């Protein structure tokens, strides 16, 4: 079974973007903990090193897991595993909706939130749509 054109294109985009995200996460993961430590020190708060380590580690794990999930989605889409694509697509869509909800609760710019939400939802929605369209004729 061959993937349809929509699923194939979206899968390639998932692979490209997730690969870039994995590389950037690995490059910048050491800076997240240091940044939090510096902010604690600048604010005069104690415990900056432990908070920085915990925050940096948490951000690293979440970013890597999310990127790997998108990478797997892209690979499944190219291999035309439609059942796996449907399940993983729904998981990605739910995670994106949670991310958008968290962004709305922590950020005040309404226009910026709407634009970011639309951009974040485009790939997962197209991926699910392509998975449900089924194989190419």
CA proximity to 67, closest of 18, 26, 25? 18
Given this model, what pLDDT does residue 45 score? 66
User: Is the confidence at residue 20, as pLDDT, over 90?
Assistant: yes
Q: How far apart are CA 89 and CA 1, in angstroms?
A: 19
User: Is the confidence at residue 137, as pLDDT, over 60?
Assistant: no
Contact 76, 88 (CB under 8 A): yes
User: Is the confidence at residue 39, as pLDDT, over 80?
Assistant: no
Summarised one tens digit per residue, pLDDT across range 119-130 is 888 999 999 999
> Model pTM?
0.75
Given this model, what pLDDT does residue 57 score? 72
Tokens of 111: 């226009």
Given this model, what pLDDT does residue 68 score? 92
- Listed in sequence order, the residues at least 6 apart from 25 whose beta carbon sits closer than 8 Å to its beta carbon are 60, 63, 64, 67
Summarised one tens digit per residue, pLDDT across range 55-89 is 667 777 888 888 899 999 999 999 888 888 899 99
């Amino acid at each position: 079974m061959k993937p349809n054109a929509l699923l194939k294109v979206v899968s390639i985009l998932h692979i490209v973007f997730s690969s870039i995200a994995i590389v950037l996460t690995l490059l910048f993961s050491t800076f997240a903990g240091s940044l939090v430590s510096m902010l604690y020190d600048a604010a005069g708060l104690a415990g900056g090193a432990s908070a920085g380590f915990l925050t940096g580690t948490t951000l690293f794990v979440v970013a890597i897991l999310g990127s790997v999930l998108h990478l797997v989605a892209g690979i499944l889409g190219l291999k035309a595993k439609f059942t796996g694509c449907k399940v993983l697509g729904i998981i990605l869509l739910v995670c994106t909706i949670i991310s958008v909800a968290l962004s709305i609760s922590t950020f005040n710019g309404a226009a910026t939130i709407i634009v970011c939400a639309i951009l974040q939802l485009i790939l997962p929605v197209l991926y699910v749509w392509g998975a449900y369209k089924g194989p190419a004729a």
